[in-house]
Copies of this chain bind each other. A is one copy, B any other.
Amino acid sequence: MTTLTGHSFIAGARVPGTAGTTHGVSPATGEPLEPPYSLLDVAQVGAATAAAAEAFPSFSALDPETHAAFLEGVADRIDALGDDLIERAGLETGLPAARLTGERARTTNQLRLFAQVVRQGDHRGVRIDPALPDRAPLPRVDIRQRKVPLGPVAVFGASNFPLAFSTAGGDTASALAAGCPVVFKAHNAHPGTSELVATAIADAIAEHGLHPGVFSLVYGPGAAVGQALVADPAIQAVGFTGSRGGGLSIVRTAQERPVPIPVYAEMSSVNPVFILPGALDGDIDALASAYVASVTGSSGQLCTQPGVVFVPRGEEGDRFLAATTRIVDDASGQVMLTPGIARSWREGVSTRSERADVLARGAEGPGANAPAPVIHGVSSEAFLSDEVLQEEIFGAASLVVRYGSADELAAAAERLEGQLTATIQLADRDHPLAAALLPVLERKAGRILANGWPTGVEVGHAMVHGGPFPATSDSRTTSVGTLAIDRFLRPVAYQNLPDALLPAALRDANPWHLTRRVDGVLQPGSAG
Contact = CB atoms under 8 A, between A and B. Distances in A.
A418 interface: yes
Contacts of A451: 496
A501 B458 contact: no
Contact of A442 (B117, B120, B148): B148
A286 interface: no
Contact of A478 (B255, B491, B519): B491
Given A150-B475, A434-B501, A442-B148, A517 B461 contact: yes
A477 B460 contact: no
A84 to B, nearest CB: 22
A223 interface: no
A515 interface: yes
Interface string A428-468: 10010011001100110111111110001010111110101
Contacts of A524: 522, 524
A519 B461 contact: yes
Contacts of A492: 442, 445-448, 464
A442 B435 CA distance: 46
Given A431-B500, A463-B143, A496-B451, A446 B491 contact: yes
A490 B425 CA distance: 25
A91 interface: no
A388 interface: no
Contact of A460 (B140, B458, B460, B497): B140
A517 B123 CA distance: 12
Contacts of A61: 439
A444 to B, nearest CB: 10
A260 interface: yes
Contacts of A466: 490-491
B431 A462 contact: no
A372 interface: no
B522 A515 contact: yes
A396 interface: no
A482 interface: yes
A476 B443 CA distance: 23
A32 B522 CA distance: 51
A109 to B, nearest CB: 12
A443 B464 CA distance: 29
Interface in A125-168: 127-129, 137-138, 140-141, 143-145, 148, 150-151
A269 interface: no
Interface in A464-512: 464, 466, 468-470, 473-478, 482-483, 489-498, 500-501
Q: Which of A143, A460, A462 has the most CB of B within 10 A?
A: A462
Nearest to A141: B452
Given A129-B463, A452-B495, A464-B491, 20 more contacts: A127-B461, A127-B483, A129-B460, A129-B461, A138-B456, A151-B443, A259-B469, A262-B474, A428-B498, A431-B501, A445-B492, A448-B492, A449-B497, A450-B498, A462-B517, A466-B491, A478-B491, A478-B493, A522-B524, A524-B524
7 contacts: A262-B474, A445-B492, A450-B501, A452-B495, A464-B491, A466-B490, A468-B490
